[in-house]
Structure 1
Amino acid sequence: MKRCSHDDHCLILKYLFLFVFLLFGFSVFAQKINNAYKLRISETNSAVTIDGLLEEAAWKDAEPARDFFMVGPMDTSFAKVLTEVRMSYDKDNLYISAICYQPNARTYAVESLRRDFAYTKNDNFLLILDPFDDQTNGFTFGVNAAGAQWDGLIFNSNGYDLSWDNKWYSEVKHYDDRWVFEAAIPFKSIRFKKGIKTWGINFSRLDIKVPEKSAWAKIPRQFNVASLAYTGNLIWDNPPPDAGTNVSVIPYVLGGLTKDYQNNTSTKFKKEIGADAKIGITSSLNLDLTINPDFSQIEVDRQVTNLDRFELFFPERRQFFLENADLFANFGYSTIRPFFSRRIGLGVPIEFGARLSGSLDKNWRIGAMDMQTKSMEETGLPAQNFAVLALQRRVFSRSNIRFMFVNKQSINYSPLDNPGKPVYNLYNRNIGLEYNLASSNNRWVGKSMFLKSFSPQKNSDDLVHAANLQYTTKKWILSWQHESVGENYTAEVGYVPRTDYFKINPKLNYLFFPKGGKILNHGPVFSSTYFFNRSFRRTDNETMLGYKFTQRSQSTLELWASDNYIRLQRPFDPVNTGKGSLGTGTVHVWKAGGFNYVSKPQKMYTYSFSGQYGGYFADGNRLNLAGDLGYRFQPYVNIAMSTSYNHIVLPQPWGVTNFWLVGPRTDFTFSNKLFLTTFVQYNNQQKNINLNTRFQWRYKPASDLFLVFTDNYYPSPFAVRNRALVLKFTYWWN
């Protein structure tokens, strides 16, 4: 096969980009779909007490939002379960109340009182808020039927991030025929465009016992309820009041003990103090500052059995990086991320940082971040600076163009000063441009992007191009994605586990909707992923064909079969235990099949199972069985057990390998302010047992006391590896 030259390859990429851009270019200005849905909000002169009783004059005078439309299981009629919503405001707060009628309101279904609950497993009410009326970015607030709070950021119209938490107040009361939600959301807790009198808004109700999902402004059932493309209008009598001086300071103090039994070191005493600050530059632009941050209260990552050839991804959980995180984190694709905030502070303390993010006006958003880490004398790691700039410009009705620059710089560093220690790059930089498509009705979505990296001694074949396009209707999901990543492309502050490839990935889903019976819908699922090297020679291919059934009770079953081909581009240990490696250039072909089943969520006892059996590397075989079991004593106790078993048969030197991953978890939610979580993980691939117990008392909104105990053990012979106990106190002052 003729090898493509660099110019030939660039020409191919140019034509691909032109093709995708022409496809995307059909996005035009369009009137808001649910423009006819209008709810008027007026200022109240009387005090509102958040108690769930709705006795104030503000609620008697407020215009109600009624006649919710069903979103699921069907979207062709009004909701059977009735909901009534009212809104008001004063100079400090936005108020909302919802009366959620149902025949037997005291038999609600929830998991627990934990914040940011699983949407599909709880009876709940949600507010969807688009305070720029741009149908792109917004907020969501809500509660489950027991009163647990939910809050998060909405980005790219219908994606949401529940890691974001802020200060607001709510109460839930129960009656024989209804449950009532009442809340106050401070204007200082949200970002909005000053002076405009129309916000995008929607309300969502989920009753999983019926089961029924509904919304005030009508939403097609193929889209989630957070879709800003289908919001109605909140019409203010006057522009929302200025939030005034908006400064929050969140100091913390911490004390802890750690001991490394593995290396027989003495107990270390840890005492730290630090702070975060939030400064509202405008009502829509925020400056975050941090000094000596600590993230010890963050829950441990869920472990996995690692049979992958490439680095695994674990999501960001640290609060400082989360507001407007889409500006930074969503540039690129899941395996092509020029910026991944978990690279900052990875095994090294953060000294200080600043982040400016938000909207300049209806069309422009900005994100700028600068973080400084300390040096590590024992490893020779220098102090490093991380700088990121992201700009986003809205185009057409709901699409945007984004620019990103990422710079990682070693400070006052010379490798010659640290002989015998690892050598680090002086710098690594990335620059990129991206076009994001979102049609006015959300049926067409996609993106096209270019990236280039800059590193010492690497100045060629360091480009990335990728694009995708997806079309979604009630019955069809059709999508195409392709990626091209250069051999020398480097993103030290990103997540790009694989380089030097060209990839194509078409997908097709189709749904049939029976007119009656227990099956709500069913249909085939097809996906094929091809990887090629730079000579366009196939290196990987997985083609999968499945069939999925969804019952009206919300349980799902999927059956699938796959065909796999891999030509290894570098040595690989198929069990990742160090017993041996398969050679570069060896070819591995196998077939596999499996199933996934998820039970209906409204029962106290829930479960899901999955399994697969088929070939594996080196003409071997692999059996994988996994399950999740859950039982709740609602709303105070939620018990869960996750288990995964892999039985792998390979020739010598590997032979037969059995991997177990077991993770029991218990959540005690004594109230929506007092939580105790115990999480155990046994992973025999890593030869580790991890115990993490976290007590949290939210004594005031967004202010917490944490007590965290972490233990790691050798499973055989059973012995302690390391142990830590941390007490942390945070206070949100504004």
Structure 2
Amino acid sequence: MSKLLLFLFLNLFLAASLSAQKINSDYQLHIQKASSEILIDGALDEQAWLDAEVATDFFMITPMDTSFARVRTDVRMTYDDENLYLLVENFHAVEGPYMVESLRRDFSFGKNDNFLLFMDPFDDQTNGFSFGANAAGAQWDGIMYNGGSVDLSWDNKWSSKVTNYDDKWVFEAKIPFKSIRYKKGITEWGINFSRLDLKTTEKSGWAPVPRQFPSASLAYTGILVWDEAPPQTGANISVIPYALGGFSKDVSSGEEAVYRKEVGLDAKIGLTSSLNLDLTVNPDFSQVEVDRQVTNLDRFELFFPERRQFFLENGDLFAGFGYSTIRPFFSRRIGLNAPIQFGARLSGKINKNWRVGAMNMQTGKVKEDELPAQNFTVLALQRQVGARSNITGLFINKQSLNYNPDPDAEAPIYSQFNRNVGLEYNLASSNNLWTGKAMMLQSFGPDNVGNGFVHAANLKYTAGNLTWSWQHEYVSENYTAEVGYVPRRGFYKANPQVGYRWFPKSEKILSHGPDVSTTFFFNKNGEKTDNTTFLAYNLKWRSQSTFMMWTSTDYVRLQRPFDPTNYSGDTLATGTEHQWYAMGAEFTSKPQSVFTYAFTTRLGGYYANGERYNVTAELGYRFQPYVSITMNAGYNEIHLPEPWNTTSFWLVGPRVDVTMTNTLFFTAFVQYNEQIENINLNTRFQWRFKPASDLFLVYTDNYLPAPFYTKNRSLVLKFTYWWNL
């Protein structure tokens, strides 16, 4: 199978290299310099808008992709020496109020009437930016990577206004050229516009996109044709200082409260219109929302995504290398147990075909943990090949500074260094039907400890009805990525998958069809250690409700002791074999209702001839557009022989989002996790008093459930200001 995959890669590499013509090159919107001053007020009353060319006659993407959209959308764009302007008229197709969750920034796409702009200012069909709003005026912005993924954690300086009329809602935006990166001198950008109207359940795009792909797919953008090259931004330097005060108190240890008075600084320096230098001194990320907890019954470490702003722009150069469980670089390892003192990051486009990323971060010493000061260096160089494919080289170095471990110790607490070198080919055909990657990694450590090798590859075909993929992975026992996320080592994995969808001519059902996959793990001797075979049937209604029912069979031969409850401390022995069958279902209600709900169920076997039952539910209610209330609850019940017997866990998480305006937000949520015996309370108030400038007030408490006892608490008041020089 590996030889066949290599053969297909070589043929597709040749095809991708020869296919440079854009699919939707006939869809062109001409943009000219504004003929008058523009006020961002959500009104079509300036001469510049009357003179601008109009993009209209959108194509339907869902429920069908074979006709024009029923809902009319008109888009105009213009610019001046400093800003790019956008005005969109979103007409109503049927009577009734708009549908939104709240005024919360970076809203959930499928739960809001919205308009989104996707632009590829590098014209490489791989990287770009997205801006938009819902019908109540909540903003959306994100950085685009991998040809169609959007990271909404990215945040930048821009302004917008939404005004509602009887027959339409109008979205008007001003995006400073300094807030985006673009290739110098080119007069054609990839661009597309997406509209979601929940009353008609219609998603549409200006340039047509096949329904099996997201509307964000950069392979299917049209062209924004400039009357002249976009203006150079000149000195592009932004300074973002912060100041905070607060306290934290570890009540459980009886220690005195620790008071914080800190200042720090971030800076963004645009070296060119497409190459940026980010600097940070004494960064603080106290305003970043805490992770959503989960019940952990897995044998391996769980993954939680990066949310810190400094690591996000062009983050795919570093963090996108590898697969979900083979990440040689995972930025959350930096500053995990030690404060970050300073850092620098250079990233962006050198020219049409080359991207570069270079990062250096320095953490301080933690005496009580004997953790030395550490330096992290990451270098990435990417070369575009063909229309949308690329080759990336990666180097990672983690170095302990002034660290001299006891030579008589059996093993040092921390390594003196860990290095990774890798090469990866990312395949994306011009029409996006074929995608995949092939990668190799080598790790290095002191005295050859931690020297190991990784190889992995996958190939995926996505057509209108049929989807199939093959993926295999090999990770040696000694492979080490101390700055990465590789929860499992010493295995070979093979994973074929196939799915099919029918799209009937029905007034109620949009699509239905099966998915089948099987995953095998083998150890270094070629012996099977794991196998999961999964069969599901999916149903999607035109109302956007979804239902899935599934069944699976699992086999595990444990490679190390494992507690199947991740709670009791009692473990199953290495080498024991376990096999079981399970089944379940998932349902999500239509997003148009102010009351929404979803549930999942699972019942069947478990380790040691046991049984596991699981149900999760989410209830939501919104008083649009100001208040959104959700309740998440999960229950697990595990029946095992002695010494475990019956174990049960609740995980409950109510949440309230209050959005008084699209610049004033309050969020409060509680997480009760019975498995780790903790109640977490987190509240956050945010006032965006100017674009990308904020005042935060964050309060966090952790409690022991029974008896109800405070473990620790903290309060932080933080002020940030975005200042363009």
Instruction: Flag whether TM exceeds 0.5 (same fold).
Output: yes
* Aligned residue number for residue 463 of structure 2: 473
SS of the residue 1:60 aligns to: helix
Question: What is the 5 A alignment of 1:306-705?
Answer: 306-416=296-406, 423-458=413-448, 462-705=452-695
CA distance 1:25–1:468, shift in 2 (3 Å) = farther
Match of 2:17 among 24, 28, 32: 28
Q: What pairs up with 1:144-293 in 2 under 5 angstroms?
A: 144-293=134-283
Distance in 2 (CA, whole Å) between partners of 1:394 and 1:551 is 39
CA positional deviation for 1:103: 4.3
Q: How far apart in 1 are the matches of 2:97 and 2:560?
A: 57
Alignment correspondent of 1:7 = none
| Contact 2:347–2:356 (CA under 8 A) maintained in structure 1 | yes
Structure 2 equivalent of residue 6 of structure 1: none
Equivalent AA in structure 1 for residue 586 of structure 2: N
Q: How big is the shift at 1:159?
A: 1.2
1:561-615 alpha-carbon deviations (Å, 9 max, x no partner) = 0000000000000001143000110000000000000100010001100001000
* Structure 1 CA distance for aligned equivalents of residues 370 and 114 of structure 2: 52
1:427-446 per-position Cα deviation (integer Å, ceiling 9, x unaligned) = 00000000000000000000
Structure 2 residue matching 1:609: 3-state secondary structure: strand
Report the AA paired with residue 297 of structure 1.
Q
State whether structure 2 residue 114 is matched by structure 1 residue 124. Answer: yes
Q: Secondary structure at the residue paired with 1:415?
A: coil
* Counterpart contact for 1:379–1:421, Cα < 8 Å: no
Letter in 2 for 1:131: P
- SS in structure 2 at match of 1:27: helix
Query: Structure 1 pair 119/708, CA: closer, same or farther in 2 (3 Å)?
Result: same
CA shift at 1:461, angstroms?
A: 6.6
The answer (yes or no) to whether the contact 1:567–1:587 under 8 Å persists in 2 is: yes
3-state SS in 2 of match to 1:229: helix
| Alpha-carbon distance in 2 for matches of 1:405, 1:630 | 45
Distance 2:361 2:261 in 1: 22
Deviates more, 1:21-30 or 1:556-565: 21-30
Change (3 A) 1:230 1:338: same
**Deviation readout 1:325-367 (Å, 9 max, x if unpaired):** 1111100000000000000000210000000000001100000
Q: Which residue of 2 aligns with 1:38?
A: 28
Cα distance per residue 1:448-495 (max 9 Å; x no partner): 000000012336871100000000011011000000000000000000
SS of residue paired to 2:598: strand
Is 2:699 the counterpart of 1:714?
no
Q: Distance in 1 between matches of 2:507 and 2:189?
A: 41
Residues 445, 451 of structure 2: 8 Å contact kept: no
Q: Deviations over 1:73-126 (max 9, x none)?
A: 001110000000001000000001000000467600000101100000000001
Q: Structure 1's 280 and 124: CA in aligned 2 closer, same or farther, altered over 3 A?
A: same
- Aligned partners of 1:420 and 1:393: how far apart in 2? 44
SS at match of 1:59: helix
Question: Which of 105, 112, 118 in structure 1 is aligned with 2:102?
Answer: 112
CA pair 418-37 structure 1, distance change in 2 beyond 3 A = farther
CA distance in 1, matches of 2:102, 2:657: 8
User: Take 1:348 and 1:578, find their aligned partners in 2: how far apart are those partners?
Assistant: 30
Separation in 1, partners of 2:590, 2:542: 9
Contact 1:117 / 1:150 at 8 angstroms: preserved in 2? yes
Give the letter aligned to residue 534 of structure 1.
K
SS in 1 for 2:153: coil
Q: Does the CA contact (< 8 Å) of 1:139 and 1:151 recur in 2?
A: yes
Letter in 1 for 2:260: K
SS in 2 for 1:342: helix
Mapped contact 2:40–2:173 kept (Cα < 8 A): yes
Distance 1:732 1:352 in 2: 19
Q: Secondary structure at the match of 2:368?
A: coil
1:268 positional shift: 1.1
Please, which runs of 5 or more residues in structure 1 have no aligned partner?
Answer: 1-11
1:23, distance to aligned residue in structure 2 (A):
5.0
Residue 90, structure 1, aligned to residue 90, structure 2: no
Aligned sequence identity (%) = 63
Indicate how the Cα distance of structure 1 residues 522 and 145 shifts in structure 2: closer, same or farther if over 3 A, else same.
same
CA distance in 2, matches of 1:422, 1:126: 52
Matched residue, 1:728: 718
When residues 248 and 89 of structure 1 are mapped into structure 2, their CA distance, relative to the original with a 3 A threshold, is: same
Deviates more, 1:574-583 or 1:82-91: 574-583
Deviation (angstroms), 1:382:
0.3
Distance in 1, matches of 2:471 and 2:279, equals: 38
CA distance in 1, matches of 2:710, 2:653: 18
In the TM superposition, residue 513 of structure 1 has moved relative to its aligned partner by 1.4
Partners of 1:407 and 1:429 within 8 A in 2? yes
Distance 1:532 1:477 in 2: 26
Q: State the Cα distance separating 1:416 from its structure 2 match.
A: 2.4
Q: Which amino acid aligns with 2:596?
A: T
- Deviation, 1:644, is 0.6
Contact 2:12 2:429 in 1 (8 A): no
Q: Which amino acid aligns with 2:234?
A: G
Aligned length: 723
Aligned equivalents of 2:632 and 2:252: distance in 1?
A: 28
Q: Tell me the distance in 2 between the aligned counterparts of 1:234 and 1:730.
A: 35
Deviations 1:367-420 (A, max 9, x none): 000000000000110000000001110001110000000000000110129989
1:18-41 deviations in whole A, cap 9, x for unaligned?
664455443233211001001100
CA distance in 2, matches of 1:51, 1:345: 42
Provide closer, same or farther for how the CA distance between residues 14 and 439 of structure 1 changes in structure 2, counting only shifts above 3 A.
closer
* Equivalent residues of 1:102, 1:177 under 8 A apart: yes
Change (3 A) 1:376 1:419: farther
Distance, in Å, in 1 between the alignment partners of 2:6 and 2:707 is 57
Alpha-carbon contact 1:126-1:142 (below 8 Å) kept: yes
Matched residues in 2 for 1:421 and 1:400: separation? 41
Cα distance in 2 for partners of 1:577, 1:204 equals 46
Structural RMSD (CA): 1.5
**AA matched with 2:170:** V
Q: Residues 473-530 of structure 1, C-alpha deviation per residue, up to 9 Å, x if partnerless? A: 1101100000000000000000000000000000111011111241111001101000
Question: TM-score normalised to the size of structure 2?
Answer: 0.98
Aligned equivalents of 1:323 and 1:152: distance in 2? 9
